[in-house]
Every structure is written in structure tokens, then in C-alpha cells.
Structure 1
């Protein structure tokens, strides 16, 4: 009887502790803004992944991985970047690789989307605050129907990643055996769809990525398709599934994304061919040249894989890659960068100023002034951050400007393309790159606003004063 009473008392004490913790967490949650919760959520995923990667079981050698290297890998995986300081296959065990894969999936979909999955599985009601957070997380245009959109995202992700895994497994099973081939298919399908760029090709040579598949049509087309589908954004998915091929009925957002994506992909591939035809593309057949050019243009849209040696690019090729990486994918997707819509609105805003026309117009619609201001702020913020870290690395390590700029923009845009200088970084350089990756995934402007969301603006309006510009 005494034992039973003691057990009941212990259970009551534990229940009271749980209630207190839940209440405190609720109070903290109410004090935080939406962007602060999202930023904190990614930080929790990163720190959890870091601790798991530091375990001896996570490394192939059975030794503990240093905190900085584990943290860098966790940031890169959660922020779906793909920059690495150690080769994924050579250094990490199966356990470590699975931890990285889980972080990639959470980082790609957004932790709020993943939390909705668990809520739906447990049949838990999703409140208004959670819906608002989800809307912010996936960059939804409106709050209505957000849970339905998340269901579509989860189902669509499963279908696309599953299809990609099957197609890639066809190639890998023949080379690596059934079990390992299927695992490689799943890993690279998730990594490509989430625009992460992590690979397990280290058994063919450290940091070799997809170089040995430069002429493989199945691998190239599958990876290109996964990267593009993951990078156009979930809102565009919704338009395509609802309105099918009726392009005129699409939202202006979807029209901008699809047209800009096509122009950047094919235009980038053409320019890459022009710049590299006498360099890394020399000696390749027509088929391999086409695939290499298309893959190089696609992977700069924040994917991070490479089928050609990035370090061997011409200066023009590196600059082209840097520009494409800076633009990146589309809002509400697994991709990074300033985003295609931001790039287009910024160009239209410059055109409007040059022609002295009123407002920014496209597809017979006027873009809201707040969107124009935000686009300008995002471009300037990302550029300032990338250049600051470039200056830091060049100043402290004396590395070449083109390689460091490519690396910094790659981190800021969560791409993962590298000329191979990452593993030579000092602790200070690694921290700078990690900050860029984190800001790039959360959103540089959004991260900055997370500190000012609840600050009250002064009601005082000062007198106007004109100054000279330009």
C-alpha cells in the first residue's frame, strides 16, 4: 500500500512539474514574435543535431567530432546549404548520415510544417496562432486554407521525393547493390528536393559530388527535376494543381516565378556553355556538354551538387555562378537566395525610376509598395552580409577574391557550391559562414526584423528635407 501511495505521489509531482513547464513555455511563446519563434525553432534543431553529431556513434572512426565541425555540419544541413568541412561519406557513419538527412528534411520543409505533420497524425486541433506561424513559415499569401496547403505540401513532398528515390535507385542499385542502392536513392532524392547538396559519393573520391555522373542522363534529369520542383515554391504547386495548364488564371506570383525560373535556367545554361566551352567543357560530347551546362545552371539555384570541377571554372563562369546563386530560388520553397520574385520586382522598380512611371506594374497588376520596399531591403541586406564575410575571410586568410565571394554568396543563398576552400577555413571564417547560412535560411531581413517586431514606432513625424542622390 505504501509503495502504491508513493508511486501516486511521484506521478502527481511529475504531472505538476509538467504543467508548470507547459505554462512557462506558453508564456515565453506569447512574448515572442512569429519570426522569433521560427528563428528559435531552427536554432533548436541545429543545436540538437550538433549534439547528436558529436556522439562517437555518429563518426565512422568511432571518435567524437569536434564541436565546431559538428556545429558547421548541423547548420549546413538544417539550413539546406551543403557546405561541408568533412566529407559526408568519409567522416560520418550511417547514424551520422541519417541525422544529417533528418535535419535536411526538417530544414527544407520548415520545422513548423513538420510539426503540423505530427499534429495531424495525433489528430490535434491546430489553433489560430499555429496557423499564423505556419503561414509565415511557408510564405503563404493568405491565412485561409493554410492547413490544407500544408497537407498538399506533405503529400506532394512524399510523392516527388519517392519518385526521385525510385529513379535514382535504378542507377545506384546496379552499382552498389540493392540495400545500399535504395539508401543512396532516398538520401540523394531528399537532398536534391530540399536543395541541400549533401552527397555520399565520397567513396569515389573525397568531395567528388556528382562529377562521375556528368554524362548520365537518368541521374542528371532526375536531380535537375527534383531541384527545380523543390525550388519553385509551394504556392506555385497549389496554383498548378488547382488550375492545371490555364496559365492566365495563375496568381501573378506564380507567373513571375515560372517565367523567371525558365529564363534563368536556360539563359544560365547558355551563358555557362559560352564561358566554359573551351575550358571544362572541352573534349565532352554534345550530350554531356548539354547536361553539364544545364546542371551547372540548375545547381546554382541553391542545390549545391556539381558535375564539373567548380575550382576549374573561368572567372566568368565563377561570376555567373555567383550571380545565379545570389538570385536563388523562389519564395515559400526549399531554396534560398534573394528569390526570383525579389529579383524581378527590384528590376521593375529600377525600370520605373528610370522611365519616371508611377508604381511597379506587371501582368496588368500594380505591385504593393510594401513589397517593393521589402525587395529593395532584401537585396541590400543580403549583399551587405555576403560582402562583409567576404572581406573578413580575405582579410584574415588572404584567399582569392573570386573563390571567397563565391563561397560567401553560396552560404548566404544556402547553395553549397564551393571551389574547395571551406575545409581550409579558420574558426573565425567558419563562424562567419555559419551566420550567413543561418540568416539565409531564416531570411536575412526577417531575422533582422525578429529583433524589432514588437518595438513601437515613434508617433513623431519629422519635417522633410531633400538631399542629393546619385
Structure 2
């Protein structure tokens, strides 16, 4: 045991996070296969249990089996716990248990939290995590009550309460799972305004970023003293939500309510009130872009993140003007930020490209846009699908499992797992390369 602990202590935060997520996924898959987790007469194969567990921990929502028709209430509970762990993060859950038993938070745990939540430093770390946990449980509790009230006209009280609790956890953590039966998601509630508003509110709060929310509350929603990160997140969130709604409305036959819902869900929750298979080609393209961008850093959502896209776009535009000063909101942006943004976008595009290519190889009958939607949805941990997920072969399911895992941890984090040595400080002579 001492040797194992010593070995673990020598591992980088990125590797520990990866191993922690992988361990939770494997345990979840094994539990979902047990007889008490699924209904009699509906055995669950390991690959399907692994897929559902990965989707839950990576807060994606893609599933190869109808969750409501396959699993028992115990199975629902296991999935909800996996979603909660995935949304909070393995490191944050560790902090929660450490605080509950009254122990101090060690340096290694702090490093894990910084790595998991993209914190820029250790200042105020534990205070922020405590706020994060309080906000999570308060919002989920309110969401559960409101969702229960929506379900009550259609179900008995115990069932409505169970559905309300599960829906709130799933929506806030941007997971997109439902237990209503079949693969219909929320199609039966497409015209239900309270359900649409409750769900989108939970998704937006969960995907906004806890540091940004903390900053807004600390500064009482006054714009000027906010951090640059919060301003960028706010501008991007509003722009993508409004712009996405308008574009989806103009390119498909959706109502304004449905277009709003899909614009929110694309970032990155995966619920459905309008079949994605009915989208026009133009709407599919818009939806894929929204999925790829995703939510904001330090949130329960996925994607390359709103700030990443903003920085890449901002640098592209600022490079074409004469001064090229990289200043916005009265702040100058460090060059390292642009380098990180470009790296994240490159690796994200690489994962989507490779995943789409593999899916097309494994599934010759699948069309390009179907494979692109499926892989982008998996990588960005969205969970939206055109309906091909249950029919995929084992190799395709494994491909999507890997995409979900990479998307949840971050492609750059995965890439750093293979770094074994430090950098050599010696460098070569610079030489230019023609661009464009």
C-alpha cells in the first residue's frame, strides 16, 4: 500500500485526474451491470454499461440504451451520482469529503482542483470551492422542486419527485440524461413553457462558470469591477444564446421557444424538444459550431469553452489591424493566453476530425453529417444525437467513449499525460516560415 501511495504521489495532477475519472467510470459500469440496477428481462452488456457510465461521469447524455426503460430506481440513482461526481469533478468531490470529516486540504488536493477547474492560482481556492458546492446544492434543490411541480400533473407524487430530482441534477450538470422512457427526451414537453424555462435556467447557470458567478455576486453584478474572464464569459454567453436562437429559428421550422431551447442545450446539455434529425443542413452546421464552442471554463459544461473561442477570434481580428495591441475592456491580454487558446482549439478540432473519420470507417452506412454530430456531441459532452447511437457497433461505441473522456478532461490535459521528462532549456536559432 505504501508503494502505491508513493507512486500516486509522484504522478502529475493531470494523470491523477485521468485515473480518478477512469476509476469512477469503471466502478459505475460494473454497478450498472448488477441485477438490481437494471430491470428484469433487460440485461445490460458491459460495453453499454461502460458507455452509459462514461456518458454520465463525462456529463454528456449520449446513451446506447433507453435509460428510463432499462434501469431500475437504483440504477437511476447510480447514474445521478455519477453525473454529480462528473459535474463537480473528482477533485472537488474529494475536497467535499475532506471538509466533511474535518481534515485540512493538502497541497496535492489543491493542485488537483487547480488542474480540474482551470484555476489560475491558489488564492482563495478553498473559499471558491465551498461557494461552488453551496451553489450547486442550492440550485439543484430549487430546480428539483420546480421540476417536480411540472411533472406532478403527469405522474404520481413519488414518481414526480424522483423525476424532478434526477432532472435537476442532470440539467444543472449539463448532462442531458432523462428517465422518461424511450429516446424521446423532452419532446412531450416542447410546448411546456415552465419546463423549458426551468431546464434552460439550470443549464445556463451550470455552464456559466463558477468563478464568473462568484465574481458577479462579489461585485453585485456591477460591470466595471468585474474580472476580464467574467466579462468575456458574459459577452460570449449572451452572444451565443441570442445568436444561436435567431440562426436556428431562421434555418429550421422550430418555434422561437424551441429555437431558444436548442440554442441553450447545444452548450452543452443534450436535452431535446425538437428532433435533431429534422434539422436542416444549415441548422445542423450551426448546432455543431455551438456544441464545439460549448460552455465556459470552470463550469459543468464541455466544449473548447467560450473564452477559448473568443481569444482565438479576437487574436485573428486584432492581427489584421495596424496597432495589434491585443487590448479589450481596458486590459491587455498576455500572449500566453492566445497560445493556450490556439492549442486547445487545435487539439479539439483534431479529436473531432479523427473521431468522425473513425466513425465513418466503422459505420459505412452513416452519413458524414450524422458522424460529425455524434462525435462533436461526444467530445463537447453535449449528448445530442440524430438517433444513430443505439445502432453503433462496438468499435464506434469505444470511439465515442474515448471522445467523451477526452472532452471531459480536456484534450490538452490528455496530451500532457505522455510527457515524461522536463523540457531541455537549450534552444535552436529562430527562422521564419511563410504563412498564408
* TM-score normalised by length of structure 2: 0.97
Higher helix share: 1
Q: 1:250 maps to what in 2? A: 226
More displaced stretch, 351-360 vs 73-82: 351-360
Equivalent in 85, 96, 99 of residue 78 of structure 2: 99
Does the CA-based 8 Å contact 2:58-2:87 persist in structure 1? yes
Write the distance in 2 (CA, Å) between the matches of 1:144 and 1:385: 33
* Aligned residue number for residue 217 of structure 2: 241
Partner of 1:220: 196
Deviates more, 1:91-100 or 1:293-302: 91-100
Provide the residue aligned with 1:170 in structure 2: 149
Q: Does 1:294 align with 2:273?
A: no
Residue 299 of structure 2: aligned partner: 333
Is the aligned partner of 1:387 residue 2:363? no
Match of 1:85 in 2: 64
Partner of 2:318: 352
Q: Deviations over 1:46-79 (max 9, x none)?
A: 0110110111221112564211111111110000
Q: Tell me the SS of whatever aligns to 1:265.
A: helix
Are 1:122 and 2:101 counterparts? yes
Q: How many residues align?
A: 435
Give runs of aligned pairs for residues 47-446 of structure 1, distance below 5 A. Answer: 47-61=26-40, 64-202=43-181, 206-276=182-252, 279=253, 281=254, 289-398=255-364, 399-446=366-413
Q: What is the alpha-carbon distance in structure 2 between the residues aligned to residue 245 and residue 396 of structure 1?
A: 50
Deviations 1:302-357 (A, max 9, x none): 10001001111110111110000000000010000000000000001111222254
**Are 1:57 and 1:63, in contact at CA under 8 Å, matched by a contact in 2?**
no
SS at match of 1:274: helix
Native 8 Å contact 2:42 2:70 kept in 1? no
- CA gap of 1:84–1:459, structure 2 versus 1, over 3 A, is same
Greater Rg by CA: 1
RMSD between superposed Cα atoms in Å: 1.2
Greater Cα shift, 123-132 or 377-386: 123-132
Q: Secondary structure at the match of 2:263?
A: helix
TM-score, length-scaled by structure 1 = 0.90
1:248 counterpart SS class = coil
Please identify runs of 4+ aligned residues in structure 1 that moved more than 4 A: none
Q: How many angstroms apart in 2 are the aligned matches of 1:192 and 1:160?
A: 11
Contact 1:414 / 1:437 at 8 angstroms: preserved in 2?
A: yes
Map Cα deviations across residues 191-249 of structure 1 (whole Å, 9 max, x no partner): 000000000121xxx20000111111110000000000000111012102211121111
User: Which runs of 5 or more residues in structure 1 are unaligned?
Assistant: 1-20, 282-288
Deviation at 1:360, TM superposition (A): 2.6
Counterparts of 1:337 and 1:356, CA distance in 2: 32
User: Is this contact kept in 2: 1:36–1:451, CA < 8 A?
Assistant: no
